Amino acid sequence: MVREDILNWLKAAISRGENANDAAMRLITAGHDMYEVNDALRQITFEIADKKFAVSSPNEEKKEPVRKPQPPQEVQELPKTEVRGRKGFFSGKSVIFWIWAVMILITLSAAALVYFMSI
């Protein structure tokens, strides 16, 4: 049997917007029996779940909002754009130039290394 004072205190705490588990822990630390507090919390949880997921009786009519038919929308065709190759730092002829430049730098670095190692 659930104690009514614990049940009412938990309901009041939840209605104030407090977390149910925090309220239960406060009751336990205040000296109430842990099992009684957990039983009250379980009962409140079941009550809330019953209210939230209550099934209407079959005799009740479900009222659905009336939807007005919408006129068909015209599809606008997007302007066609010409797709061209990338213009950027590494595109087209610039790629060949950069490969050539890097090869020259490597060759010069190797030649400089050989020259300074022989001195």
φ, ψ of residue 3 to 5 degrees: the values are -75, 130
Please give the model's pTM, rounded to 2 decimal places.
0.44
Q: Which domain holds residue 18?
A: 4-52
Question: What average pLDDT score do residues 73-94 get?
Answer: 66
Q: Is residue 75 part of a domain?
A: no
Task: Give the total number of structural domains in the chain.
Answer: 1
Q: Is residue 63 part of a domain?
A: no
Q: Is residue 28 part of a domain?
A: yes
In tens, the pLDDT along 16-57 reads: 988 888 988 999 999 998 889 989 988 888 887 777 666 555
Residue of higher predicted confidence among 70 and 87: 70
Count Cβ atoms below 10 Å from residue 89 Cβ, excluding itself. Answer: 8
Question: What average pLDDT score do residues 87-113 get?
Answer: 81
Q: Is residue 80 part of a domain?
A: no
